[in-house]
Structure 1
């Protein structure tokens, strides 16, 4: 009869990340590391910046920072993770352009918009291509009053700061060219930790 151990992962969310942890435990078992020891080590897991990283936000909100990059598959996984969270307050998706999709760009952005409609309460769409995300969400039944559109990140941060309420959870994701980490920096509870927690914080990136 086998034994079971509970595994607590606090630094990230998403079923796809659970699979990675299961693989790590399997490797540990193959190397004769006790399963309990391997499971306990996951308590120390530190997610890489911009990869489904949990960051405390202003007004006691919670940010899921997935700003490293974006693609249709990755965005869909992030939205699924948001959907699976048991949360009483609003779920807000801040999604930017997904670049380098060629002729599939419009259709893939609209498809993601439809996923947003079944996942989040509010959408902030950032970028010209992301207008198709807004269109997809609207077509799938999301109320127009809950959809906000922006050409770039310059205005999003300020308006998101004002929009957030106690207990909201916010998923922020876009291709790296959108620079959505700038939004995270403006709504995180401790912006002085940006260099340690966020992606693209070196001097050259900061100049862009």
Structure 2
């Protein structure tokens, strides 16, 4: 990318406090360690850091200009632009840059499945388009603007995952991105610490649909009662997917193939489309239906779209199947966790362990607020209902999960509670007998991936 300093100042509504030598900017960064020559550095203030403290480092690494909200000492050769709020200014610059491109932009949000759906939609676009997508978890008020600022003339489409944990955040993200298609995958108890209850989660997610213009399209999961209600809040065209015959994309049949993925049959415009999706869990059928809804809106060849979905690979740390040398199957689902995603993962564990020992290794689900204890107890109920053989727990709410499991029939011999991951790993290694099916899941802050790494190291893997 390349833009003039004057255009940038106008876009962020800034005041030039110091005029530097360079008038053309070549990139945007918020990380002084990754600054390159010609970059514009935004001094973002976070909970753990203040970018203003790193302006000098960014300049030393080649930044031509810095955007700040307080006074900093910078060499005269570098421009200093003052704004009221640097995070808002970053979004304003991204909004200005995005509107230079006339392209289809798909925005995807939801409590679960947004990353998988994003990857599916991007794969469909990549067949015929030059597509930009956000990588990893850069899906918030910092990540989405930085993604949009990577748009170039050769791009013909963009797929942007959007996340939030407070009301107003999706409204702002949609304001910045100006989506032509908006997808809400589902509404579930998540981020309750900041939003209170599922009704407020739904209201916050609905900000995406509210922001869509009348010539845009809203794609909604009609099997989710909270998501279904959100269509009343949009003036966009509406496409529904789900199991009802009234849906534009109807899920006719889903068949699990144990460890081989799922068989999916859809009806679109009275035509049946059948494909094998090599991802674990019935819930991924809804993600695939959402992706096919985007294909439908974009007038893609639907048979070709289904064939592309058949080539999808499992995503790292999202029900990622790892085969251990002793014959055990390890399901790495450590990217994040909330009640609905954990229940879906437990269903996969049960389905994958018909002839083996099933072991659930669970850490806390974070950001659930006042409902944390009761929602963790529900997970214990589910473990017992599915007749999982062994339960290994770590975290502040491990006792709540154990309580729910015991209430519904699991014995104390089946339930193991630990205060540290290291203790859990040692006990789990002793429990493993080979041919086990092991699910490891917890919120990102629980660092459950360390358990996965330890089990792989035991196998002689790096």
Find the aligned partners of 1:88 and 1:73 in 2 and give their Cα distance: 25
Asked if residue 170 in structure 1 is aligned to residue 442 in structure 2, the reply is: no
Q: Does structure 2 conserve the Cα–Cα contact (< 8 Å) formed by 1:126 and 1:152?
A: yes
- For 1:86-105, list aligned pairs within 5 A: 87-105=354-372
Gaps of 5+ in 1: 193-208
Q: Does structure 1 conserve the Cα–Cα contact (< 8 Å) formed by 2:317 and 2:332?
A: yes
- For 1:21-60, list aligned pairs within 5 A: 21-60=288-327
Residues 1:29 and 1:190: Cα distance change in structure 2 (over 3 Å): farther
Asked if residue 128 in structure 1 is aligned to residue 402 in structure 2, the reply is: no
Find the aligned partners of 1:68 and 1:61 in 2 and give their Cα distance: 21
Partner residue, 2:271? 2
Q: Does structure 2 conserve the Cα–Cα contact (< 8 Å) formed by 1:152 and 1:178?
A: no
RMSD: 2.1
Higher RCO (CA 8 Å, separation ≥ 6 residues):
1
- Higher-helix-fraction structure: 1
User: How far apart are residue 175 of structure 1 and its match?
Assistant: 1.3
Q: Does structure 2 conserve the Cα–Cα contact (< 8 Å) formed by 1:90 and 1:168?
A: yes
Residues 1:101 and 1:2: Cα distance change in structure 2 (over 3 Å): closer
User: How far apart are residue 27 of structure 1 and its match?
Assistant: 2.7
User: How far apart are residue 20 of structure 1 and its match?
Assistant: 0.7
Query: Which has the larger displacement, 180-189 or 30-39?
Result: 30-39
Asked if residue 191 in structure 1 is aligned to residue 461 in structure 2, the reply is: yes
Residues 1:174 and 1:58: Cα distance change in structure 2 (over 3 Å): farther
User: How far apart are residue 26 of structure 1 and its match?
Assistant: 3.4
Find the aligned partners of 1:45 and 1:2 in 2 and give their Cα distance: 23
Gaps of 5+ in 2: 1-269
Find the aligned partners of 1:156 and 1:3 in 2 and give their Cα distance: 48
Query: Which has the larger displacement, 77-86 or 158-167?
Result: 77-86
Find the aligned partners of 1:38 and 1:124 in 2 and give their Cα distance: 40
User: How far apart are residue 182 of structure 1 and its match?
Assistant: 0.5
SS at match of 1:110: helix
Q: Does structure 1 conserve the Cα–Cα contact (< 8 Å) formed by 2:330 and 2:437?
A: yes
Query: Which has the larger displacement, 18-27 or 106-115?
Result: 18-27
Partner residue, 2:343? 76
User: How far apart are residue 86 of structure 1 and its match?
Assistant: 6.0
Partner residue, 1:197? none
User: How far apart are residue 137 of structure 1 and its match?
Assistant: 0.5
Partner residue, 1:199? none
User: How far apart are residue 30 of structure 1 and its match?
Assistant: 4.2
Q: Which has the larger radius of gyration?
A: 2
Q: Does structure 2 conserve the Cα–Cα contact (< 8 Å) formed by 1:94 and 1:170?
A: yes
Q: Does structure 2 conserve the Cα–Cα contact (< 8 Å) formed by 1:150 and 1:156?
A: yes
Find the aligned partners of 1:182 and 1:72 in 2 and give their Cα distance: 21
**Alignment match of 1:179 (pick from 447, 450, 458):** 447
**Alignment match of 1:110 (pick from 377, 399, 406):** 377
Q: Does structure 2 conserve the Cα–Cα contact (< 8 Å) formed by 1:58 and 1:187?
A: no
- Higher-strand-fraction structure: 2
User: How far apart are residue 177 of structure 1 and its match?
Assistant: 1.8
